[in-house]
Amino acid sequence: MKPIIIFFLLCSRILAQPIFQEAPEKWSKPEKIASIQAFSIDGNEKPSVSWDGKTIYYMAACSWGDFYSTTLTDTGWSFPKRMPGQIHPPISWATGKLIMSPNNKMLLFTAGLTGQIGISFWNDSLKDWDSSYPLRDNGIGTGGYWGVSSFLNDTTVIISKDSQGRITYYNKETKTFSRPEYFPSERGQTFSQFGQWISPDTKKEYQGEYWSGLENNDLYVAYMDSSGLNYRYPYKLNICFIADSLYLIGKYKGRREEYPFLTPDGKTMYFTANYDSGGNYLTIYKSRMIIDENGDSVLTNIQDDLGLRQPKDINLLPAYPNPFNSQTTLKYTINSPTKVELKIYNILGKEVKRLIEEEKDIGEYKTEFNAEGLPSGVYLAMLKTKYGFMSTKLILIK
């Protein structure tokens, strides 16, 4: 009887695991911010980035809650320095994320074990940060666990209470924040406990999440629906698949991706991961967007970033005809033997047709895509091999 019970419990757990579609947008191979790793092997968490993308702020776990920053120079990222001023006391155990306003005049941070939000302002006369204090405006920081997410602009901030999103507005005249309201809807969107970032136009929510029954923390993205009130069910970013193919270490297979934070244009993402250790030690990585959610390439004038070069062993040519009415031809070349997958996705990232999934030798190939039964719209043809992936946008007009 016991083996039967165990079997059904295992089956129920497998069936209960959520199945996430891969996001239509694609990201490059993660690149480690080496200067931060060299500074501390004890783990660094929860990065945030200046609006110009040239400064990373983070909390160094090994230094009892001190915040540090590193700046992008002509020779790479600078050696990290402790944030100046008195931004730490009297908020003890500032073990959370720090976010900086676009004008670099205000910073907010999650105060960790206290469940509060700390705030500090830049003092122009002293060229330093004033002492921090608990943010208590209109109930912020009282009751429950509070955290910070991202600035949408200088006066609009996304925060959270008990992992549910709130939006608040800063009044420059009274120097106070408004009473937090549910974000993005009256029901209150439940945010991730492993970090979230909201795009300035609020159309995207990136999150780091551990889903029950799954072993790893992965990165996800959710898109705002047409009502403008809720984010749709999240898609898993391809970064986790890239990581698994490169690192197979320890329990987490060298993963545990958390706390995504993007530059305002949404094209560069910083996050923490344990690719090196396979355990609990984290460091900060960077990834660049290759293809956006509409299937358009965003790699313009980017040549030197690690992992962004076009794969040399495969080439996917533009479809012809395109736009097309019902059928189009896809051509591709293979320069080394490999398994090839060629699939078609709709604009929401859902796979609608699988054209090829087989081993291919060196050569030039073509295949027909018959869109019979599919509605007019934009689609994405994705060619994937062990060397990487390429895509091309298709426009179906009926």
What local confidence, expressed as pLDDT, does residue 318 receive? 85
pLDDT at 205: 93
Q: How many CA atoms lie within 13 A of 181 on its CB side?
A: 8
- 185-191 contacts, C-beta under 8 A, 24 or more apart: 185/229, 185/230, 186/229, 187/230, 188/164, 189/164, 189/165, 189/230, 189/231, 190/163, 190/164, 190/165, 191/149, 191/160, 191/163, 191/164, 191/165
Alpha carbons 384 and 343: distance in angstroms, whole number: 8
Locate 391 and state its tokens.
Answer: 């895509």
What's the pLDDT at 169?
97
Residue 208 has a pLDDT of: 87
pLDDT tens for 44-100 read: 568 888 888 888 888 765 555 577 888 887 767 877 777 776 665 555 555 568 899
DSSP 339-385: EEEEEEEETTS-EEEEEEEEEE-SEEEEEEEE-TTPPSEEEEEEEEE
State the first-to-last Cα distance of the chain, in angstroms, to the nearest integer: 59
- C-alpha closest to that of 381 among 358, 353, 359, 340: 353
Which of 306, 189, 195, 352 lies closest to 258 in space, CA to CA?
195
pLDDT in tens, 293-323: 888 877 543 333 433 344 556 788 889 998 9
Of 79 and 365, the one with more pLDDT: 365
Residue 17 has pLDDT above 50, yes or no: no
Residues 224-231 have a mean pLDDT of 86
Residue 7 pLDDT > 60 = no
The amino acid occupying position 43 is G
Tell me what the mean pLDDT of segment 127-139 comes to.
88
Query: What is the radius of gyration, based on Cα positions, of the chain?
Result: 23
Q: Give percent of the chain with pLDDT exceeding 90.
A: 25
In terms of average pLDDT, the best of 30-34, 124-128, 166-170, 242-246 is: 166-170
pLDDT surpasses 60 at 285: yes
pLDDT band at 249 (very low <50, low <70, confident <90, very high): very low
Report how far Cα 176 is from the mean position of its chain's Cα atoms. 30
Q: Indicate if the pLDDT at residue 9 is higher than 50.
A: no
Contact 169, 178 (CB under 8 A): yes
More reliable by pLDDT, 281 or 39: 281
User: What is the full DSSP assignment across 161-176?
Assistant: ETTEEEEEEEETTTTE
Per-residue confidence at 366, pLDDT binned at 50, 70, 90?
Answer: very high
Least confident of 166-170, 269-273, 359-363, 378-382: 378-382
Q: What's the pLDDT band for 121 if we cut at 50, 70, 90?
A: very high
Q: Is the pTM of this model over 0.75?
A: no
Cα–Cα distance measured from residue 230 to residue 227, given in angstroms and rounded to the nearest whole number? 7
pLDDT score recorded for residue 10: 41
Token duo for residue 285: 């990585």
Nearest alpha-carbon partner for 167 in 143, 153, 184: 184
pLDDT of the residue at 242: 64
- Mean pLDDT over residues 253-266, rounded? 82
**Contact, 382 vs 291, CB < 8 A?**
no
Contacts of 332 (CB under 8 A, 6+ apart): 314, 315, 316, 317, 340, 342, 364, 365, 366, 383, 390
Q: How many CA atoms lie within 13 A of 108 on its CB side?
A: 24
pLDDT in tens, 157-210: 999 888 888 999 999 999 999 999 999 876 556 677 788 899 999 999 999 876
Q: Are 17 and 214 in contact (CB under 8 A)?
A: yes
Is the model more confident about 17 or about 37? 37
Query: Sorting pLDDT into bands at 50, 70 and 90, what band is 130?
Result: confident
Q: Work out the average pLDDT over 14-43.
A: 67
Residue 346's pLDDT is what? Answer: 78
- Please give the domain boundaries of the chain with CATH numbers for all domains: 19-291 (2.115.10), 314-396 (2.60.40.1930)
pLDDT band at 382 (very low <50, low <70, confident <90, very high): confident
pLDDT at 15: 40
Q: Report yes or no: 99 and 115 within 8 Å, Cβ to Cβ.
A: no
